[in-house]
Amino acid sequence: MKKIKSALPGPNDVYREVLPNGITVLTRSNFNSPSVVISGYFDAGSLFDPDEKLGLADFVASALMRGTKKHSFDEIYNILESAGASLGFSAGTHKSGFNGRSLAEDLPLLLNLLAETLTQPVFPKVEMEKLRAQVLTGLAISAEDTSEMASETFDKILYRDHPYSRPEEGTPETVKRITRDDLMRFHRECFGPRGMVIVVVGAVKAEEAVRQVKRALGGWQVRGQKEPPALPEVKPLRRTITKHHRIAGKSQSDLVIGTNGPRRRDAEYMAASLGNNVLGQFGMMGRIGDVVREQAGLAYYAYSSLYAGIGPGSWEVSAGVNPANVTRAIRLIVDELKRFVQEGVTEDELVNSKANFIGRLPLSLESNGGVAGALLNIERHDLGLDYYQRYADWVNEVTCEQVLAVARKFIDPDKLAIAVAGP
């Protein structure tokens, strides 16, 4: 009987190579579609931002395609549009990233533009002022958004005196201080091939994809590329801290309640993730959604999230409520967290949660973009090329006792960060 090849990416069909200049390339062929996706990241996140110029990394990432030594802003977008292709950059805390898409035959064009915008941006003054105006408009809109402000306030409580407490987009004051010289210096010092990862997925053979990346970026060298700053430990909360960010004239208040969580590569991550699914994700937003939204009718939405990355994560519950119901909603959520750390999850809840995790994995990998994101995930967190092929086993190994243990390790209902934004 012929053995059926696994549809999940693994060592048998994912090729990985580190180029001499430090760029890691991962590629997986898929000839079921004529397109190709490129995705990746590089060490130029907001951790490099000086306090007085927060938003610098974000500004630089947004400015890369506003003009290069070879092409103007308009010319770059005309090249992409004429090929029906796309390319964009974004900044995060640890890394900045990029995503692009084109027909397989246009992969050389896409990689050429990626290399050009990464290595030769010129930050034209007129375009930089247009971009600054857009960023300031975005910050003004965010300042009136109760959900955004609750999240920002939560980070300031949970990550006090830690880089994670800083807004990646900056503030109006810090963005106004950023000069063109700052953009050029940041690019010169922080951009480079070391720590860069490029994933290519689609209708191209692995060897050809690597050859194309080498041609476009294999010669990129940067002497003295800055090392990412060391990340300090987070100071754990010693008591519950509540802060209310007032925004006048709003008909809704948003709240975020939570605490620290595991890092993505921590051994407890899978148990925490399955537990979180029961707490506030599965079905109609789990237990939190059932109690706060369905039974009490207090919230427009209520769910929990586990944010686990390179550094210390967070485990948080978010809800949108009528301002008159804030106190009651907080009490119900805290009571549900107490129940979670006292009782854990039932066998039935865990079985359902496992089936949900295993069932949705193939769906998330149906597109080239989904596979590219998955490959970036395993590279970023050093999970191993066989991670997705062993995923079901790891999920099934988690026990109710492990979920209870991880809940008790991270969630102390007497030491929570509670952020409210609204009238």
Q: Would you give per-residue pLDDT tens digits along the chain (423 residues)?
A: 333 346 899 999 999 999 999 999 999 999 999 999 999 999 999 999 999 999 999 999 999 999 999 999 999 999 999 999 999 999 999 999 999 999 999 999 999 999 999 999 999 999 999 999 999 999 999 999 999 999 999 999 999 999 999 999 999 999 999 999 999 999 999 999 999 999 999 999 999 999 999 999 999 999 999 998 889 999 999 999 999 999 999 999 999 999 999 999 999 999 999 999 999 988 778 899 989 888 888 889 999 999 999 999 999 999 999 999 999 999 999 999 999 999 999 999 999 999 999 999 999 999 999 999 999 999 999 999 999 999 999 999 999 999 999 999 999 999 999 999 999
Closest CA to 220 of 244, 191, 183, 181: 191
| Contact predicate 159/165, CB 8 Å | yes
CATH code, domain carrying 47: 3.30.830.10
The answer to the question of residue 5 being in a domain is: no
> Which pLDDT belongs to residue 281?
87
The answer to the question of residue 2 being in a domain is: no
Same domain as 267, residue 303 = yes
**Tokens describing residue 97:** 């990233």
Same domain as 86, residue 202 = yes
* 113: Cβ contacts below 8 Å, ≥ 6 apart: 76, 79, 80, 87, 100
**How do strand 197-202 and strand 35-42 relate by DSSP bridges?**
antiparallel
CA triplet 168, 173, 178: central angle to 5 degrees?
Answer: 75
The answer to the question of residue 383 being in a domain is: yes
Same domain as 274, residue 193 = no
The answer to the question of residue 225 being in a domain is: no
Same domain as 34, residue 172 = yes
Same domain as 62, residue 149 = yes
User: Domain ends where: 183, 217, 251?
Assistant: 217
User: Domain ends where: 217, 232, 259?
Assistant: 217
Amino acid identity at 407:
A
Same domain as 262, residue 197 = no
Residues spanned by the domain of 165: 15-217
Same domain as 194, residue 91 = yes
The answer to the question of residue 274 being in a domain is: yes
Same domain as 261, residue 209 = no
The answer to the question of residue 67 being in a domain is: yes
Kindly report the three-state secondary structure assignment for every residue of the chain. CCCCCCCCCCCCCCEEEECCCCCEEEEEECCCCCEEEEEEEECCCHHHCCHHHCCHHHHHHHHHHHEECCCEHHHHHHHHHHCCCEEEEEECCCCEEEEEEEEHHHHHHHHHHHHHHHHCECCCHHHHHHHHHHHHHHHHHHHCCHHHHHHHHHHHHHCCCCHHHCCCCCCHHHHHHCCHHHHHHHHHHHCCCCCCEEEEEECCCHHHHHHHHHHHHCCCCCCCCCCCCCCCCCCCCCCCEEEEEECCCCCCEEEEEEEEECCCCCCCHHHHHHHHHHHHCHHHHHHHHHHHHHHCCCEEEEEEEEECCCCCEEEEEEEEECHHHHHHHHHHHHHHHHHHHHHCCCHHHHHHHHHHHHHHHHHHCCCHHHHHHHHHHHHHCCCCCCHHHHHHHHHHHCCHHHHHHHHHHHCCCCCCEEEEEEC
Q: Other CB atoms closer than 10 Å to residue 355's CB: what's the count?
A: 13
The answer to the question of residue 398 being in a domain is: yes
Same domain as 250, residue 209 = no
Same domain as 326, residue 264 = yes
User: Domain ends where: 165, 185, 217?
Assistant: 217
The answer to the question of residue 136 being in a domain is: yes
Number of domains in the chain: 2
φ/ψ bin of 400: left (φ > 0), alpha (ψ from -120 to 50), beta (otherwise): alpha
Same domain as 185, residue 262 = no
Same domain as 347, residue 201 = no
